[in-house]
């Protein structure tokens, strides 16, 4: 039996149950949301769209500007991974590629898929979708790794004419894209996975 069927509303922060229509949880103070409140799904789409929009400039603009005695180079997110690969660091190149390209794009697809599938799932499908949402939420933070790499390199490699690394504008839109996608996943109410669509 679900809380909804019993005309109750459960607090998603602490688990306490309240009569339908209660605005905030009396135990932890969190806002209580009914499952059929379309608000949460709207927030999921809005944050997801913002995250996808920010991901475009994050890949077009340079992430790193390197100047050495000999030359000046700029690197995009993908360019950085390619350079590592060419330098023979296959493992790290793969990690950077996974964290900065595969995880962000995978998250866009996963969240969109979960949102579209609400109400259309059989029981095993619901279990799979809940697991997918847990994975998306767990993995979200790790996409930030490239933003930290750029910060560390730019702080460290300030050696005057010998070598200087400066961060590029892509770092900001990349960080925004990760944050928006995290907010999108957080707005997703997993309880909606278990609802059946009523025409």
Partner 1 sequence: MMAAHPTLSNTRPEQLIACPFCDALHLRARVKVGQRARCSRCHTVLMAPRAGSYLQVITLSLSVVILMGSAVFFPFLTIAVAGVSRTTSVYEVAFAYSDGILQPLSFVVLAVIMLVPTLRAALLIYAIWPLAHGRPPFARATTALRLAETARPWSMAEVFVFGTSVALVKIAGLATVSLGPAFWAFCGLVLLLTLNEHAICKWTLWQDLEDSARP
Residue list 113-132, contact with partner 1 (CB under 8 A)? 126-127, 130
The pair of three-digit structure tokens given for residue 129, joined into one six-digit string: 């979708």
**What does residue 170 show for φ and ψ, rounded to 5 degrees?**
-65, -25
Q: How far apart are CA 86 and CA 97, in angstroms?
A: 13
Number of residues that bind partner 1 (CB under 8 A): 71
Strand partners, 4: none
The H or E element containing residue 64 is strand 64-68
| Positions 71 through 110 that interact with partner 1 (CB under 8 A) | 80, 84, 87, 89, 92, 95-96
**Choice from 140, 177, 181, 184 touching partner 1 (CB under 8 A):** 140
- Which is nearer to partner 1, 27 or 39 (by Cβ)? 27
Under rule CB under 8 A, residue 155 binds partner 1: yes
**Choice from 9, 11, 58, 64 touching Zn ion (CB under 5 A):** 11
Region of residue 2 (left: phi > 0; alpha: psi -120 to 50; beta: else): beta
What is the contact surface with Zn ion in residues (CB under 5 A)?
A: 11, 13-14, 16, 25, 27-28, 30
């Amino acid at each position: 039996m679900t809380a909804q069927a019993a005309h109750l509303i459960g607090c998603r922060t602490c688990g306490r149950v309240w009569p339908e229509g209660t605005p905030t949880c009396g135990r932890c103070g969190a806002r209580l949301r009914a499952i059929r409140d379309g608000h949460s799904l709207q927030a999921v789409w809005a944050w997801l769209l913002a995250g996808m929009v920010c991901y475009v400039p994050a890949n077009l603009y340079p992430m790193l500007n390197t100047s050495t005695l000999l030359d000046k180079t700029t690197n995009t997110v993908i360019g950085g991974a390619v350079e590592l690969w060419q330098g023979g660091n296959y493992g790290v190149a793969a990690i950077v590629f996974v964290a900065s390209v595969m995880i962000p794009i995978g998250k866009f697809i996963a969240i969109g898929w979960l949102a579209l599938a609400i109400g259309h799932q059989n029981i095993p499908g619901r279990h799979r979708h809940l697991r997918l949402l847990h994975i998306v939420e767990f993995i979200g933070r790790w996409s930030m790794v490239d933003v930290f790499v750029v910060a560390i390199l730019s702080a460290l490699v300030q050696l005057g004419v010998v070598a200087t690394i400066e961060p590029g504008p892509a770092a900001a839109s990349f960080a925004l894209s990760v944050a928006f996608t995290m907010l999108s996943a957080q707005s997703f109410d997993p309880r909606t996975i278990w609802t059946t669509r009523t025409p």
